[in-house]
Amino acid sequence: MTTLTELAALLATGKTSSVELCQDYLARIAAWNPTLNAFITVDAERTLSEARAADALRAQGRGGALTGVPIAHKDIFCAEGWRTTCGSRMLANFTAPYDASVIERCKAAGMPCLGKTNMDEFAMGSSNETSFFGPVRNPWDVERVPGGSSGGSAAAVAARMAPAATGTDTGGSIRQPAALTGITGLKPSYGVVSRYGMIAFASSLDQGGPMAPGAEDCALLLNVMAGFDARDSTSLERAPEDYTRDLARPLTGVRIGLPREFFGAGLSADTARAVLAAVEELRRQGAETVDVSLPNSGLSVAAYYVLAPAEASSNLSRYDGVRYGHRAAEYRDLTDLYERTRAEGFGTEVKRRIMIGTYVLSHGYYDAYYLQAQKLRRLIARDFEQAFRQCDVILGPTAPATAFRLGEKTADPVAMYLSDIYTIAVNLAGLPGLSLPCGFDTAGLPIGLQLIGDYFTEARLLNVAHQYQCITDWHRRLPAGMS
């Protein structure tokens, strides 16, 4: 049994304890992490201490729905007393002095932390190959990538080294690795989950979210993660929601939009076949399909790789070797300190994006690039507005193909960037998006189906995903040898 609901039921009935659960997961981490490299930091003593505290709460009758259920956290979230590296050399020895809002909420729910998961450096990547701590490997084929940047969290859940994990999504970094590893991942509407204590990449795009085997798990975890936080100026002050409330709702009459732009050139035959088969299954459950158009979605990658690097160049300027993080051992003056520290502390992809971002914000190029990209962002959002007048949910592939081989795209940044061609527009518009498994290709690799909703319709996305998962078992399948 691996779902959060099943684990919570075992804890509630006393059939197991949080300590026993954590010991089981820590044993799986010890067995599989040397191969998969999904975790950067594990602290068994701290995990078991938190588990004992959770068991004590349940014994006193004070436990919540997920008290005692362990979780893994992407190493982009500051966690007090835990090494928090963001997958970088720059922060390789940084210990966070406080908890991110997401960590606070998981702690308050009584969820012990199993460890911090590997990720692309500063969340910049689509394959988890840019991490200073080495690439994460896909549990379905260890010679292939798990996707990025939340690849460590995805691999940990797929290999059942954790029942659930947190991730972040700037241009697809929850959904794309979820698709490539055969799990479910949700990017909420921008502002639903606080970014306080989440190390920034692109502040107008970053959003934390849950990753777990199924939609019901993601709904339970989003109940924990979501909520207003006055410490985050972009956090939305909204009434609390129960994201599990519509899970059992029938799909009769639900209008599913199929964007013609998502089913054209570049989509692999295996992926198209699996996604369209899922559409037929949803129709059998009573859903209706309508054709919609997102005419500017093809330009989302170009817009994103102007806007996101521009914000990154600003956010990463804080890493100067003065206050925290890596500092060059030798330097002549302050300018030389900055230059040497950043040259040593940042990897190739991060340097590339900082340079692009600085360029597009520079005098003479701001109007030509950055301003035009912002205009295009508005057009992309408008496309979604018009589409949602015709449908309730938009459906398509999460990624154009299944997991590619390690090193296959590292020499071609453009090819790597196109891995997110179906996910990026969702971030530019600030919409919620969810990926769930819908089959396998001829090589036995998972295929992801993406659902996109209008603002604050996470419960509807989870409803559609859960109803699909009630009659399929793709999300319950495990990589060979990892049962």
CA distance 410 to 445: 20
74 is catalytic: yes
Q: Which residue has the tokens 């009584």?
A: 110
Q: How many CB atoms lie within 10 A of CB 80?
A: 15
What value, to the nearest 5°, has the Cα angle with vertex 413 and ends 409 and 416?
55
Q: Spell out where 19-67 has E strands.
A: 39-41
Token pair for 285: 């459950």
Token pair for 211: 């990753």
Count CA atoms closer than 13 A to 279's CA, side-chain side.
Answer: 22
Spatial CA neighbour of 177 closest among 195, 192, 159, 194: 159
CA distance 25 to 33: 11
Phi then psi dihedrals of residue 32, to 5 deg: -105, -25
CA distance 483 to 471: 21
149 is catalytic: yes
CA distance 298 to 433: 17
Phi then psi dihedrals of residue 387, to 5 deg: -65, -40
Annotated active-site residue in 126, 149, 150, 194 = 149
Maximum C-alpha span of the chain? 70
**Type of residue found at 99:** D
Annotated active-site residue in 150, 173, 194, 235 = 173
> Which residues is 393 bridged to in the sheet?
256, 453
Q: Checking DSSP bridges between strand 393-397 and strand 255-259, what pairing results, if any? A: parallel
Phi then psi dihedrals of residue 92, to 5 deg: -60, -30
Count CA atoms closer than 13 A to 478's CA, side-chain side.
Answer: 13
3-state secondary structure of 196: coil
Q: Spell out where 64-188 has E strands.
A: 71-74, 113-117, 165-168, 184-187
CA distance 374 to 353: 17
Bond preceding residue 149 cis, omega within 30 of 0: yes
CA distance 177 to 183: 8
CA distance 185 to 168: 10
CA distance 176 to 169: 9
Annotated active-site residue in 17, 18, 74, 116 = 74
Q: For the chain, give percent helix, strand, coil, nearest 5.
A: 40, 15, 45
Task: Give the active site residues.
Answer: 74, 149, 173
